[in-house]
């Protein structure tokens, strides 16, 4: 496979992470997008992201499947099929993982724009026909940014800005037209600079945060919002599987801020840190306000078992002493 990826002549792959851009591997420092690309001009970009455990990408097939579903919905046609997408992705991870220390992990990002818009280019020879701009790249999972989520728990805030409704764009596609989230984050940061935006939909239902699915624990079971207006999260899927294994009831249905405030626990579910406890909503404590309720612990322990490492310990640098101690 590596022979098929032609590097630019002056790149030094041994010293710098690689990026797959359009049709080849380039060093990260040379990976950039033209100012007249539809990704810049329209935010017309589909994307996906997974991460590694022990330097192996987690559920890569599921992420690539979702990437192709996003592509199909937006009619931006990937330049090649799922198999080759997976092959290049694994190659990239293999290469870039060599450049990071063993305790560190990689995020693996796929994104694809609708391509360059020739009529916006100042350069005469730009091809008129649009061809998608595909990019696959990695970056180290920023564990240090997540530590407080496991010690204090997350603080979610519901700003006045609402999530896009499906009449406008379907939140089931992972795309990059997210100015509304940027706007919502500005409001959230008025409440708490570390606050995480929890978007409501136009009807006042809880949806998701900018970077994660959201769920609550109620009567001992996990409840996630209905599928209408949220990303089909792979972490959420993993949690639903773990719930089945652990005999924890799992359900998807609409709920509202009342349910969050009166939940036993609340959770963020996301690729970079899998699951974290939510301890506050709009400044009010959830449950007893302590990070790490019993359902969180059972889930994170089971997930740690599945991937063969102590997920929270790796993030915080402090091995977890969980109820099922020894297992992770």
Rule CB under 8 A: which of 142-181 touch a second copy? 142, 145, 157-170, 172-173, 175-181
Applying CB under 8 A, the site for a second copy has a residue count of: 93
User: CA 80, CA 72: separation in Å to the nearest integer?
Assistant: 13
Stretch that binds a second copy, among 3-11, 190-198, 238-246, 308-316 (CB under 8 A): 190-198
Measure Cα distances from 265 to 53, 115, 174 in Å.
26, 43, 27
Q: How far is the CB of 3 from a second copy (least distance, A)?
A: 23
Taking CB under 8 A as the binding criterion, the range among 80-88, 188-196, 297-305, 316-324 that sits at the site for a second copy is 188-196
The smaller minimum CB distance to a second copy, of residues 3 and 167, is found at 167
Output 111 or 214, the one with its CB closest to a second copy: 111
Distance separating alpha carbons of residues 160 and 155, to the nearest angstrom: 16
Q: Which is nearer to a second copy, 80 or 182 (CB)?
A: 182
| Choice between 56 and 172, CB closer to a second copy | 172
Q: Is 277 left (phi over 0), alpha (psi -120 to 50) or beta?
A: beta
Give least dist CB 225 to a second copy, A. Answer: 12
Tell me the C-alpha distance between 16 and 312, whole Å: 28
> Roughly how many angstroms between the first and final C-alpha of the chain, as a whole number?
35
Please say whether the beta carbons of 277 and 322 come within 8 A: no
166 contacts 138 by C-beta, under 8 angstroms:
no
Using the 8-state DSSP alphabet, how is residue 1 labeled?
Answer: -
For the sheet with 56-57, list strands across it: 24-27, 18-21, 133-140, 106-113, 45-53, 56-57
- State yes or no: residue 130 binds a second copy (CB under 8 A): no
Binding track over 19-58 against a second copy, x by CB under 8 A:
x-x------xx-xxxxxxxxxxxxxxx-------------
Q: In this complex, which beta carbon is closest to a second copy, that of residue 14 or of residue 321? A: 14
C-beta of 231 vs 242, nearer to a second copy: 231
222-281: contacts with a second copy (CB under 8 A):
226-228, 253-259, 261-262
Say if residue 210 is exposed, middle or buried (CB neighbours under 10 Å; 0-12, 13-18, 19+): middle
Per DSSP, the three-state class of 90 is helix
CA distance 243 to 230: 20
Closer CB to a second copy, 206 or 302, in the complex: 206
Q: For residues 39 and 133, is the Cβ–Cβ distance under 8 A?
A: yes
Position among 79, 127, 204, 249 found at the interface with a second copy (CB under 8 A) = 204
- Within residues 62-121, the interface with a second copy by CB under 8 A covers 69, 72-75, 96, 107, 109, 111, 114, 119-121
Nearer to a second copy, 266 or 299 (CB): 266
């Amino acid at each position: 496979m590596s022979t098929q990826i032609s590097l630019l002549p002056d790149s030094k792959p041994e010293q710098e992470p690689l990026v797959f851009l359009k049709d080849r591997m380039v060093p990260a420092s040379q990976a950039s997008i033209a100012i007249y690309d539809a990704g810049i001009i329209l935010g017309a970009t589909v994307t996906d992201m997974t991460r590694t455990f022990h330097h192996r990408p987690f559920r890569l097939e599921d992420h690539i499947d979702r990437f192709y579903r996003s592509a199909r919905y937006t009619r931006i046609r990937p330049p090649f099929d799922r198999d080759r997408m997976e092959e290049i992705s694994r190659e990239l991870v293999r290469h870039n993982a060599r450049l990071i220390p063993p305790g560190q992990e990689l995020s693996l990002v796929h994104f694809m724009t609708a391509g360059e818009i020739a009529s916006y280019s100042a350069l005469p020879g730009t091809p008129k026909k649009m061809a998608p701009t595909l990019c696959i790249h990695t970056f180290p999972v920023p564990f240090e940014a997540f530590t407080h989520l496991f010690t204090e728990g997350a603080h979610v805030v519901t700003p006045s800005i609402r999530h896009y409704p499906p009449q406008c764009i379907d939140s089931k596609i992972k795309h990059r037209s997210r100015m509304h989230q940027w706007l919502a984050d500005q409001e959230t940061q008025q409440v708490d600079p570390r606050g995480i935006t929890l978007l409501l939909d136009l009807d006042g239902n809880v949806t998701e945060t900018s970077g994660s699915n959201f769920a609550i624990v109620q009567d001992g079971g996990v409840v996630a919002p209905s599928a209408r207006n949220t990303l089909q999260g792979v972490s959420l899927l993993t949690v639903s599987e773990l719930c089945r294994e652990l005999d924890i009831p799992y359900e998807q249905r609409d709920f509202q801020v009342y349910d969050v405030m009166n939940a036993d626990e609340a959770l963020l579910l996301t690729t970079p840190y899998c699951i974290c406890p939510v301890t506050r909503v709009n400044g009010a404590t959830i449950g007893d306000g302590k990070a790490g309720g019993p359902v969180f612990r059972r889930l994170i322990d089971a997930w740690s078992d599945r991937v063969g490492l102590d997920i929270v310990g790796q993030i915080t640098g402090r091995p977890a002493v969980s109820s099922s101690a020894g297992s992770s």
